[in-house]
Amino acid sequence: MSAMYDSFAKTFSESRKNHPWPEIDAIIADMKTHNIQKVLDIGCWNGRFLEELDKEWYPLSYYQWIDNSEWMIQEAQKLHPENCFQVCSMEHMETSSIHGGYDAILFLASFHHLNSALSRIQTLSIAWNLLAPHGRIYLTNWNLLENTELFERYQDGYDGNGDFRIKIGEYERYYHGFKLNELERLYEGVGYTIEHNQVFSHGKNIFSILTK
């Protein structure tokens, strides 16, 4: 997966500039409410979330980024040299956390790329160990199965059982299309409390907030 992302990362990064991301306002508002200061961003792309924080004048005391694309991390490092970066897959994150754990962990359009139930459970379990007591996890996943526009656009790549192979240009990526009850069982099975798990207002993403 990382080699594939490196192959088209520049095109992918350019395509996401100024791309609407309405869930971010909700996440930042929630972070402010809970005074989130230490954040782990899993699948950070080129660091776009930090740009949104900067627009809101919301500084963090600690921000760690990981992505499995070396090119994406290099781009993020150029844009935000004052922050911490790591090339790493979700399933192989370090299990040791910063002192006290992270206040929040972000999976923004990244969790749906995990291609098995086992890897999803493993990743959420690692995140549990990295999270501070009462920490929060924010996830956005494409609503591929229940949003008619998305399903019709990508149905040629649908393999069944929620699995999609979606092309960006000449490159193909794996996505899992979750249903709300599937995510609910997954989250609760790992031990999280579900504070929010709903289709977002525009219908194209499922937005979840979990607490430890």
Q: What is the mean pLDDT of residues 171-179?
A: 91
How many Å is the maximal CA-CA distance in the chain?
Answer: 47
User: What CATH number is attached to the domain comprising 168?
Assistant: 3.40.50.150
Q: Is residue 120 part of a domain?
A: no
pLDDT in tens, 84-117: 777 777 887 876 677 789 999 999 999 999 999 9
User: What is the residue range of 145's domain?
Assistant: 2-16+26-113+127-211
CA dist 30 to 25, 125, 178, Å? Answer: 9, 23, 24
Q: Which of 34-38, 81-85, 148-152 has the lowest mean pLDDT?
A: 81-85
Report yes or no: 63 and 39 within 8 Å, Cβ to Cβ: yes
The single-letter code of the amino acid at 189 is G
Q: Is residue 118 part of a domain?
A: no
Q: Is residue 21 part of a domain?
A: no
The single-letter code of the amino acid at 145 is L
Answer with the residue of higher pLDDT: 134 or 5. Answer: 134
Residue 133 makes CB contacts below 8 A (sequence gap 6+) with 101, 212
Q: Is residue 119 part of a domain?
A: no
Burial per residue of 135-158, b for 16 or more beta-carbon CB atoms within 10 angstroms, e otherwise: bbbbbbbbbbbebeebeeebeebb
Q: Is residue 166 part of a domain?
A: yes
What are the structure tokens assigned to 126, written together?
Answer: 């690692």
pLDDT in tens, 122-133: 999 999 999 999
Q: Chain centroid to CA 170: how far?
A: 23
Q: What is the mean pLDDT of residues 70-87?
A: 74
What are the structure tokens assigned to 36, written together?
Answer: 């989130």
User: In this predicted structure, what is the pLDDT of residue 5?
Assistant: 52
Q: Is residue 54 part of a domain?
A: yes
Answer with the residue of higher pLDDT: 7 or 139. Answer: 139
Please identify which residue in the block is written with the tokens 């995990």.
114
Q: Is residue 205 part of a domain?
A: yes
| First-to-final CA distance of the chain | 29
Q: Is residue 122 part of a domain?
A: no
Pairing assessment for the beta strands 205-211 and 84-87 based on DSSP bridges: unpaired
What are the structure tokens assigned to 160, written together?
Answer: 């069944």
User: In this predicted structure, what is the pLDDT of residue 21?
Assistant: 72
User: In this predicted structure, what is the pLDDT of residue 2?
Assistant: 47
User: In this predicted structure, what is the pLDDT of residue 189?
Assistant: 97
- Looking at the 3D structure of the chain, how many domains does it have? 1
> Rounded mean pLDDT of the chain?
85
